[in-house]
Chain A
Amino acid sequence: MMADRRWRWFHRLGSPPHVYSLAGRLAPWLGWIALILLLAGVVWGLVFAPPDYEQGDGFRIIYVHVPSAWLSLFVYTAMAVACAVGLIWRMKVAFAAAIAMAPLGAMFTFLSLATGSIWGQPMWGTWWAWDPRLTSQLILLFLYLGFIALNRAFPEQQTGDRASALLGVVGVVNVPIIHFSVDWWHSLHQPATIAQFGPPAIDTAMLIPLLITAVGFKLYFLWLLCLQLRSELLYRERRASWVKAEAGKIST
């Protein structure tokens, strides 16, 4: 009985109406805190942080590049976990969460590639190089896009969910490859600055705004996820009575 009660919150995550209203209650908090953190981090990073000894002001693109690159990997891992939960426990909400995350992850991956390219042109001297880090990150973008395409490719949503979930789960092997690519091969991309053993190789005055924007980006993602998941659940459950009840609330 104890075990039942302890896991109740988890089992309720399997219920679409419960998750729908939970996401609706969380969304405003996440959105506003994300906005405050992003404003604070960006102003701090762009105006008050010192320039880099080598790159001058050019390094400031780090405040968009690094949070979006971290998120691109975090979102993929979360999506793969959702896919695995959907496959193993046949949980409808998990499949909905995975497809809600995919376009967001693709967006952050694209942002990391684009900002990296803009930085690479003056600093490295090239927009693009077929270097292990850059190539594996590009593959991540294609994995996201392939996931979305496969998910929507079948007339039966359930078939699409299971087929794409397998791709999503298997694609997770790319995540450690991206992370360790800079250590395993000769690479143009620099090794990790913060996610390494020992203290981060970055000035504290530059690091604090970076951590603030990183948390801000993460909350921004969670806010978008709440909105995405709500609309995905409404669409998937459009024939269910709870959706009709929700619709009734709006129209009256």
Chain B
Amino acid sequence: MTPRRKRLFMVLGAVAGVGLALALALQAFQDNVLYYYSPTQVAEGAVPDDDRRFRVGGLVAVGTVERAPGDMTVSFELTDGRENIEVTYSGILPNLFREEQGVIAHGNFGADGRFEADEILAKHDENYMAPEVKDSLHETEWQRQQREESEGQGGYGEEY
């Protein structure tokens, strides 16, 4: 075996070794790197039962979004198709927030059994479309603001 060939195998061996070690480590951590729980996991009691905060992810259930008039409080139900969780939140919603959008709420259950979120993150999907292409069934936060602004100016609310 020439020294060059020996070095080739040493390099390949180092990459394979580190790759294998990392793969095993990630496999072992699979459950611990979970970024959020689903409503079903919450219902089954998989979440911490002390007052530690955690994340719940799911879709915003259709027809459940209610905005309190005059302040920034919003309540909605988060669903994964099996279980629903009632969430309240006060603050600026991400632009992508809408019905049937995937969102992740960070917080804990309050005394009234509702999930009090201090942070709402919206998950974007991989689709990019022009507005004319997408027949807008769902209004996003960005579109709502656009519509309300244009309506405020007595304008063309039907554009999207």
- Residues of chain A touching chain B, judged by Cβ–Cβ distance below 8 Å, are 50-56, 58-59, 62, 84, 87-89, 122-126, 129-132, 166, 169-170, 172-173, 177, 185-188, 190-193, 196, 201-203, 205-206
Q: Is B130 touching A169 in the complex (CB atoms < 8 A)?
A: no
Q: Given A53-B134, A84-B11, is A124 in contact with B123 using a C-beta cutoff of 8 Å? A: yes
Q: Is B34 touching A88 in the complex (CB atoms < 8 A)?
A: no
Question: Contacts of A122 on B, CB cut-off 8 Å?
Answer: 94-95
Sample 6 A-B pairs with CB under 8 A, ordered by A number: A87-B7, A88-B11, A123-B95, A123-B122, A196-B126, A203-B129
In the assembled complex, B153 has its CB within 8 A of some CB on chain A:
no
Q: Is B19 touching A173 in the complex (CB atoms < 8 A)?
A: yes
Q: Is A190 touching B123 in the complex (CB atoms < 8 A)?
A: yes
In the assembled complex, B83 has its CB within 8 A of some CB on chain A:
no
Question: Contacts of B34 on A, CB cut-off 8 Å?
Answer: 185-186
| Bound CA–CA A154/B134 (angstroms) | 58
Count chain B residues whose beta carbon lies closer than 8 angstroms to a beta carbon of A: 45
| Contacts A126-B121, A173-B15, A186-B36 supplied; 12 other A-B pairs, CB < 8 Å | A53-B130, A56-B143, A56-B146, A58-B142, A125-B119, A125-B121, A125-B122, A126-B119, A166-B14, A170-B18, A203-B129, A206-B130
Closest B residue by C-beta to A173:
B19
B6-42: which have CB < 8 Å to A?
7-8, 11, 14-15, 18-19, 22, 26, 30, 33-36
Closest 10 CB pairs of A and B: A125-B94, A50-B130, A53-B134, A202-B128, A173-B19, A53-B131, A193-B126, A201-B127, A53-B129, A186-B35
Q: Given A56-B142, A88-B4, is A123 in contact with B127 using a C-beta cutoff of 8 Å? A: no
Q: Is B122 touching A124 in the complex (CB atoms < 8 A)?
A: yes
In the assembled complex, B140 has its CB within 8 A of some CB on chain A:
yes
Question: Contacts of A172 on B, CB cut-off 8 Å?
Answer: 15
Q: Is A53 touching B94 in the complex (CB atoms < 8 A)?
A: no
User: What DSSP secondary structure best describes chain B's contact surface?
Assistant: loop
Q: Is B142 touching A54 in the complex (CB atoms < 8 A)?
A: yes
In the assembled complex, B65 has its CB within 8 A of some CB on chain A:
no
| Bound CA–CA A170/B132 (angstroms) | 47
Q: Is A188 touching B130 in the complex (CB atoms < 8 A)?
A: no
Q: Given A170-B15, A193-B127, is A88 in contact with B7 using a C-beta cutoff of 8 Å? A: yes
Question: Contacts of B26 on A, CB cut-off 8 Å?
Answer: 177
Question: Contacts of B146 on A, CB cut-off 8 Å?
Answer: 56
Contact of B131 among A51, A125, A177 (CB under 8 A): A51
Among B33, B119, B126, the one with the most A-chain Cβ atoms within 10 Å of its Cβ is: B126
Question: Contacts of B95 on A, CB cut-off 8 Å?
Answer: 55-56, 58, 122-123
Q: How many residue pairs, one in A and one in B, have C-beta atoms under 8 Å apart?
A: 124
| Bound CA–CA A132/B33 (angstroms) | 8
Q: Is A59 touching B121 in the complex (CB atoms < 8 A)?
A: no
Contact of A206 among B121, B122, B128 (CB under 8 A): B128
Q: How far is the CB of B133 from chain A (nearest CB, A)?
A: 6
In the assembled complex, B51 has its CB within 8 A of some CB on chain A:
no
| Bound CA–CA A56/B142 (angstroms) | 7
Q: Is A186 touching B130 in the complex (CB atoms < 8 A)?
A: no
B77-125: which have CB < 8 Å to A?
92-97, 104, 119-125
Question: Contacts of A129 on B, CB cut-off 8 Å?
Answer: 35, 121
Q: Is A169 touching B14 in the complex (CB atoms < 8 A)?
A: yes
Q: How far is the CB of A250 from chain B (nearest CB, A)?
A: 38
Q: Is A203 touching B133 in the complex (CB atoms < 8 A)?
A: yes
Q: Is A185 touching B35 in the complex (CB atoms < 8 A)?
A: yes
Q: Is A124 touching B124 in the complex (CB atoms < 8 A)?
A: yes
Closest A residue by C-beta to B123:
A188
Closest A residue by C-beta to B96:
A123
Closest A residue by C-beta to B8:
A88
Contact of B121 among A53, A55, A88, A124 (CB under 8 A): A124
| Bound CA–CA A89/B11 (angstroms) | 12
Among A54, A130, A188, A205, the one with the most B-chain Cβ atoms within 10 Å of its Cβ is: A54
